[in-house]
A and B are shown apart, each in its own frame.
Chain A
Amino acid sequence: MLSVSGIRKAFGGVQALDNAVLRCDPGEIVGLIGPNGAGKSTLVNVVTGVLRPDAGTVVLGGRDLTGTGPGAICSAGIARTYQNLRVFHSLTVMQNVEVAHSRCRQLTPDRAARVSASALLKTFGLERHANALAGELSYGSQRRLEMARAMATVPQILLLDEPAAGLNDEETDQLGEVIRLVATQMGAGIVVIDHDLKFINDICRHLFVMDQGRPIAEGTPERVWKDPRVIEVYVGPGTETGTGDQRDTVQGV
């Protein structure tokens, strides 16, 4: 399992992460939420080795990965997608997945088949576009392609940074189904960051809430949404100031 604790990271004077925490078990879907600028993407960058933390540890299955590079962390079994998409535009859809394959560890034939490029494209609904250049895909398809590419590394933990951003309701529902499938069939633990709280509440059993780099609550959605500090962050101090929409979402849990 992934266990991240006590992460601190400052950019100049900005304390982007202040004792941030995150945990995820294989097959589990957890949510990482918080307002814009809370430090969610920075935490993903620390966990995946893009950024070196000032303090704290990243441990996967008992192995301390803190401070190792992105490649080593990928090989150890943590994969990710990007808030600002980073598909390989000039490669075909199929090649985007194959290129991620080429470095993965020895697999049993059964597992290898499940993560074969064609099987992954099928899982993520991209098989029709296999030979198209990735740069020519729609925004929603590029998001799914990033997930397929990440799964090709056969990760134990998959970090999704705002996978539903820019998707319509129907696409978001489909995405939720795919995420569940990845967790149950492939056994990966999945961390989902998103601002669509209905989507998060639908698929996550456990939530981590951050604000200004600090963890402010964690637990089941039911518990988290009753936490006064979470309500304050999401609805604002004093319930009157919140918009109707936000109150609906929070109370609708």
Chain B
Amino acid sequence: MTTDALPATPSAASRWILRGLTGGIITALPVVAIGLYFIGFAPNYYQHLAAAALVNLIIVVGLQVFMGNSGVPQLGHSAFVGLGAYGLAILATPVALKKLSIPHAPFGLSQITLSPVIAIPISFVVVAVLALVSGRIISRLSGVAATIVSLAFLVIVHSVFLHWPELFKGNQAFFGIPKIFGLPAIIAGAVAAIVIARLFRESATGLQLRATADNLQAAEALALDSRALRRRAWLLSALICGAAGMLYAGFAGTISPKVFYFQQVFLTLAMLILGGMGTVTGAMLGTILLSFGLEAIRSVETGVSVLGIQMPAMLGLSGVALGVVIVLCMALRPQGISGRYELDEAIGALLRRNSRMDKAE
């Protein structure tokens, strides 16, 4: 017993990395397949839709990292998406265009244009600093208190975007951001987000955080520090959401504060709840299903003709559908479609059950 168990410690360390990597790659496969299909076969308009959906996917994955692992509900993640997007916009937009849009920007920001290679890391640092500050407060709270504080954080950041027009151009569109990202870059970003989120889930920090969500008293009796664990997840979640914002800004070329507000919060929340917030697989499934579903509804919304009969326009149907998805999921299957299992874990459990049945026969 003693000798055969000796190498257990180092192998345990590499085991979670292996689990996270293979799990992440398996979970990312459907995303890659759909993304490549759109690159290869879809018209330009649909490529734009796919890019927006994949940005949402990254946001949902970021949301899952904190909410799914800590069990603490929050609604503030779009603040970090906006911070990432505006960070890149303010730093990387050419001076000539900034002279038109934000000529009076403070700190001489209207006089400089940074290469994306520098602008992106600086934007990440800005996101990280705000995540560290807000994380100190959020990590102390749970339940409704955490939700309300995260919402207040979103409102504060949104207000700053609106009421500091010298820097953020107020509620007008911030245009002229260099379009440095195409659909392939966004697909790569989504794959990276999924793999990172899955690695985090399997890491010691992720495991301990899930234990605190599962049974806080038992976890604290094992000397686990729920606040420190939540702070780390909050930081990673913010960085992933910030990355989504940068990808969006660098793809669309134009951003405005309303993009990063309630509508985005509720859309991404509905995606995560539908798929199941406990798993990265849930984030992936919910985003894909709801993206296709809402697109189908939108085409009905404006009135289509079915078998030659013109259907009336039903504006607002997609908003209703979003609400219905949240309500139905919460009522009927609060753990979402994926439940407790990641895609690869479900496959593994299925294989084990089959082999056990073979042996039993």
B9:A116 contact, CB within 8 angstroms:
yes
Assess whether A217 is interfacial by the CB under 8 Å rule.
no
A98 on the B face (CB < 8 A) = yes
Q: How far is the CA of A170 from the CA of B147 in the complex (A)?
A: 49
Query: How far is it, in angstroms, between the C-alpha of A101 and the C-alpha of B3 when the chains are bound?
Result: 19
Contacting residues, chain B, for A116 (C-beta < 8 A): 5-6, 8-9, 12
A82 at the interface (CB under 8 A from B): yes
Q: Is the CB of A114 within 8 A of B223?
A: no
CA distance A253 to B1 in the complex (A): 36
List B contacts of A119 (CB < 8 A).
Answer: 1-2, 5, 8
| A113 at interface, CB cutoff 8 A | yes
Of the candidates A72, A99, A113, A114, the one whose C-beta lies within 8 Å of that of B208 is A99
Report the Cα distance A55→B211, complex, angstroms: 32
Please determine whether B223 and A113 come into contact, CB atoms closer than 8 angstroms.
no
Measured in the bound complex, the distance between the Cα atoms of B7 and A109 in whole Å is: 9
Given contacts A74-B221, A110-B2, contact A102 B208 (CB under 8 A): yes
Contact B1 A114, beta carbon cutoff 8 Å? yes
Shortest CB distance A251–B (Å) = 39
Interfacial residues of chain B within 206-227, with CB under 8 A of chain A in the complex: 207-208, 210-211, 213-215, 217-225
Q: Min CB distance, B338 to chain A, in Å?
A: 12
Instruction: Evaluate contact between B222 and A100: CB separation under 8 angstroms.
Output: yes
B210: chain A residues within 8 A (beta carbon): 88, 90-91
A71 CA / B224 CA spacing, docked (Å): 7
Contact residues, B310-361 vs A (CB, 8 A): 340, 348-349, 352
Indicate if the CB atoms of A109 and B6 lie closer than 8 Å: yes
Interface centre among A75, A103, A116, A153 (most CB of B within 10 A): A116
Could you say which residues of chain A place their CB within 8 Å of the CB of B352?
Answer: 131
Whether B2 pairs with A113 at a CB distance below 8 angstroms is: yes
Q: Which residue of A lies closest to B225 (CB)?
A: A71
B5 with A91: CB separation less than 8 A: no
Within 257-293 of B, Cβ neighbours of A (below 8 Å) are at 278
User: Is A70 touching B221 in the complex (CB atoms < 8 A)?
Assistant: yes
Q: Does chain B have a CB within 8 A of A137?
A: no
Is the C-beta of B129 less than 8 angstroms from some C-beta in chain A? no
Query: What size tier do the contact residues of chain A reach?
Result: 35 or more
**Is B204 part of the contact surface with A, judged by Cβ < 8 Å?**
yes
B5 touches A88 (CB 8 A): no
Cα distance A87–B219 in the bound complex, in angstroms: 9
B211 and A69 contact, CB distance less than 8 A: no
Closest approach, in angstroms, between the C-beta of B132 and any C-beta of chain A?
23
Separation of A74 and B222 alpha carbons in the complex (Å): 6
Partner of B221, one of A50, A117, A123: A50
Q: In the bound complex, do residue A86 and residue B215 qualify as a contact, i.e. CB atoms below 8 Å apart?
A: yes
Smallest CB gap from A107: residue in B: B9
User: Contact at B207–A95, with CB atoms within 8 Å?
Assistant: yes
Known: A71-B223, A113-B6. A133 touches B340 (CB 8 A): yes
- B224 near A103 with CB under 8 A, answer yes
Bound CA–CA A7/B13 (angstroms): 42
Say which residue of B3, B9, B211 sits within 8 Å of A88 (CB atoms). Answer: B211
Mask of A100-138 contacts with B, CB within 8 angstroms, 1/0: 101100000110111011110011000000010100000
Min CB–CB distance A97 → chain B (angstroms): 10
Pick from A86, A96, A103, A112: contact of B217, CB under 8 Å: A86
Residues of A that sit less than 8 Å from B by CB:
48-50, 69-75, 79-80, 82, 86-91, 95-96, 98-100, 102-103, 109-110, 112-114, 116-119, 122-123, 131, 133, 149, 153
Report B's interface with A, CB cutoff 8 A.
1-3, 5-6, 8-9, 12, 204, 207-208, 210-211, 213-215, 217-225, 278, 340, 348-349, 352
**Closest 5 CB pairs between A and B?**
A116-B8, A86-B218, A71-B223, A119-B5, A74-B223
User: Could you show 13 A-B contacts with beta carbons less than 8 Å apart?
Assistant: A50-B217, A73-B221, A75-B223, A88-B210, A90-B210, A90-B340, A95-B207, A99-B222, A103-B208, A112-B9, A116-B9, A116-B12, A119-B8
